[in-house]
Structure 1
Amino acid sequence: MNDIAFWVLIALMRGVMISSIANNRNKQLKKDITHIKHTLDIIAKQVGVPDFINEELKEKLVILISEGEKIKAIKEYRIATG
């Protein structure tokens, strides 16, 4: 019985290690994406790419999302941005 408990413990420890590694990679990817978005925003401003979301649309999207109408908000955004 001790052998089974030992191997179960080893399997659980490996599972925790794998989960921890995956979580760390996920955090790093999120940081990378945030950095890329920031860089892209800077480049877009320098090149003069227009912002498709005006204040009116932004307010409408915020209202739809706060009301739980995420699908409608996405549809409105797609219609506005092409």
Structure 2
Amino acid sequence: MNNIVIFLLIAIIISLTSSIRQLKTEVDLIKMKLTTISKHVDLPDPTNNELKIIVLELISKGEKIKAIKEYRLATGAGLLEAKQYIDHLSK
């Protein structure tokens, strides 16, 4: 009985991993298409100079969490993307 349960769990994990990889690939393709479309229709960059100045000021005050929050509110970015952007600016 234990072997069957373990086998089923492994099969489920493999299936979920495969599905997650496929979804990630599809999301990456959608992001590339959206970037191309936004450039084609000349949409403004959400990280404009005003936002960048605000975020850099917060970073200089040691308020990285507030900077991440501000970036997320202004751009609609996810937490990881916002953190990576703020970390990049912090260097």
Q: TM-score, normalised by structure 1?
A: 0.68
Q: How many residues align?
A: 71
**Bigger radius of gyration, 1 or 2?**
1
Q: Please list every run of at least 4 consecutive aligned residues from structure 1 whose deviation after the TM superposition is greater than 2 angstroms.
A: 67-70
Name the residue aligned to 2:67. Answer: 73
Q: State whether structure 2 residue 10 is matched by structure 1 residue 16.
A: yes
- Quote the sequence identity (%): 34
Counterpart CA distance in 1 for 2:43 and 2:11 is: 44
Name the residue aligned to 1:35. Answer: 29
Give the RMSD, CA atoms, in angstroms: 2.9
| Pairwise CA distance, 1:81 | 4.5
Give ranges in structure 1 of 5+ residues lacking alignment: 1-6
Give ranges in structure 2 of 5+ residues lacking alignment: 77-91
